[in-house]
Amino acid sequence: MNLTIENILLVGSLLLLASIIAGKTSYKFGVPTLILFLAIGMLAGSEGIGGILFDDPEMTQFIGIVSLNFILFSGGLDTNWNSIRPVLKEGIALSTLGVLLTALCIGGFVWLITDFTIYESMLLGSIMSSTDAAAVFSILRSKNLALKTNLRPTLELESGSNDPMAYVLTLAFLMLVVNQDQSIYSIIPLFLQQMSIGCLAGFIFGKLSKLIINRIKLDFEGLYPVLVIALMFITFSATDFIGGNGFLAIYICAVYLGNQDLIHKKTIVKMYDGLAWLMQIVLFLTLGLLVFPSEIIPIAGIGLLISVFLIIVARPLAVFISLMFFKMKLGRRFYISWVGLRGAVPIVFATYPLIAGIEKASMIFNIVFFISVTSILIQGTTLTLFAKWLNVGLPEKIETESDKFMSDFPKTAMREIEISSRCHAANKKIVDLGFPKNAIIALIKRNNKYLTPNGATIIEPNDVLVILAENQEGLNLVDQTLNNISA
C-alpha cells in the first residue's frame, strides 16, 4: 500500500487506535508499551500484513526530531528542581562522562569483533551511548515504580539530559567517517561549542519564555499551550542555528519553566503530557514502518553480542566510573546500571548515517534497532524485579479513587483571608505574587460569588481568598506573601 494524501489520515488514525488499545493491555503481560508500538509499525510495514511502503530516512529523522522536542520538553516540565538539586552532580556526571565512556566501550568492542573501522565503530558506540528519555520516562511513570530517596530523580535527570552528549558524539564521529583525513582532536571544538551554547541558550530562552507567557494576554486558555509549543520550537531551532545543541537547550528551558509560576501552568503541563505520549506513539510507529525485518535477522547474532556487552559490561563500567567520587550504596549503583534503557533516540540518531550515505549505514541502523528492542525487552520488563532484588524499591501503595482525586488537590490546612486595599496582593496577578509552592488559592469570593482562579486572575480589594496549604506553616507563609495589613 502506498501512503497518499487521501489515505494517510485513515491509516494513521487506525495505527494510532491500535497502538492505544494494545498499550492499554500490554502491562498485564509485562510487555512495555513502546515495544507494542514498534511491533504494530513493523506489522503495518512493507514486509508486514499491512504492506505500507515506507523507506524514507529523511522523513523519519524529521519526525524523530519533532517528537524528541515534545518528549524532552514534557520531561523537563515535570522535573522538580528541589528533587534533582541534591543529585545534580551525579546526573551531570552520568549524562556526560557516562555517555562518553559507554560510547568508547561499545566502539572498542565493535572494532574488535567486526570489520568496522575504528571511526565506524565509534560512530555505532556514540549512537548507542545514551539512555532513552522516552523509554525511561514512560516505563518508570507507567509502572508507578516507587524508588528510594533520590534514585528516581537521578535516573530521570540522566535520561533527560544525556541525549545532547550522544548527539554531539554522533555528529562528530560521522564527520570523521565521512572525512577520514581529519584528526580526532577536531571534534573537541564542536563538543565545547554545542554544549556551552546549548546550556546558555536554554537558560536565556527559559527566562524569555516565562516573561512572554506571563505578560501576554490571550483571550482563550487553550492558546497558552500553543504559545509554549511555539516557544519550544523557537528555542530548539534558534539554538541549532547559532551552533548550539538544541536538545540540551529545550530540556534546560523546560526544567526552568516547570519550576516557575506560570499562567495556566496546569493546563500547559497536562497538554504536554498528552502530546508527549502522542509523539512517542508516532515516533515508534514510524521507526517500525522504516525497518525491514528481513534485514534484521542476518545481524541478530552480532546485535545480541553487542547488546549483552552493553548491558553487562559497558553500561555498568561507565556508571561505576562516573559515580566513583560520590557516596552511594552499591545496590543503587547496580540499579542505575540496569536502567540503561535504549529506545527511540538511538534509532533516530542511526538515521544520520543513512542520510549521509556512508558504506555501512544500513548495517549500523539494523544493529541499533536490534539492540534497542532487546534493551527494552530485557531491562524494561525487569525494572520492578531488580528494584526488589537490589533493595532499592519502596513498598507498593495501592492507589484508591480518593488518592487519585487528592493527587490533584493534596492540601490539608485551610484559611479564608480578606484582601484590603492596602494589602500587597491587591490589584496584582496571582502569578506575580511568588506564592508558596505548598499552598494554593482554591477559590475567590467576590461580590458574594465564588470564582475559580488561575495564574492570570487579578486579586481585587475586598476579595476573600480560600487558601489551602499542606500545613500551618504553609498558611503562615501565605500571610507573609499576601502582606495582609488589614488582617
Q: Write down the domain spans for the chain.
A: 57-263+298-389, 410-482
**Over the stretch 342-396, which tens digit does the pLDDT of each residue have?**
877 888 899 999 998 888 899 999 999 999 889 888 887 788 788 888 888 765 5
Q: Mark out the alpha helices in 291-329 (DSSP H runs).
A: 293-296, 300-309, 315-322
Average pLDDT, the chain: 83
Pick the closest to residue 330 from 283, 392, 372, 272 (CA basis): 392
51 Rama sector, left if φ>0, alpha if ψ -120 to 50, beta otherwise: left
242/184: higher pLDDT: 242
**Residue 403 pLDDT grade (very low, low, confident, very high; cuts 50, 70, 90):** very low
427: how many CB neighbours lie within 10 A of its CB? 11
Q: How far is CA 52 from CA 44, 56, 137, 287, in A?
A: 6, 12, 30, 13
DSSP code of residue 313: I
Are the C-beta atoms of residues 209 and 253 closer than 8 Å to each other? yes
pLDDT of residue 209: 95
**Residue 475 pLDDT grade (very low, low, confident, very high; cuts 50, 70, 90):** confident
Mean pLDDT (whole number) for 447-469 = 82
pLDDT of residue 408: 47
413/156: higher pLDDT: 156
Whether pLDDT at 411 is above 60: no
Mean pLDDT (whole number) for 104-112 = 95
**Residue 426 pLDDT grade (very low, low, confident, very high; cuts 50, 70, 90):** confident
pLDDT of residue 100: 94
Q: How far is CA 388 from CA 145, 147, 323, 338, in A?
A: 11, 10, 22, 13
Q: Residue 442, class by beta-carbon neighbours within 10 Å (0-12 exposed, 13-18 middle, 19+ buried)?
A: middle
**Over the stretch 269-287, which tens digit does the pLDDT of each residue have?**
889 988 888 888 888 888 8
For residues 135, 137, 143 and 149, what is the CA-based torsion angle, rounded to 10 degrees? Answer: 130
Residues 6+ apart with CB under 8 A from 285: 15, 16, 19, 37, 38, 40, 41, 44
3-state SS class at 341:
coil
User: What pTM does this model have?
Assistant: 0.77
CATH architecture of 57-263+298-389: Up-down Bundle (1.20)
Mean pLDDT (whole number) for 467-480 = 73
pLDDT of residue 487: 38
Mean pLDDT (whole number) for 419-436 = 80
Are the C-beta atoms of residues 75 and 156 closer than 8 Å to each other? yes
Whether CATH 3.55.40.20 fits 410-482: no
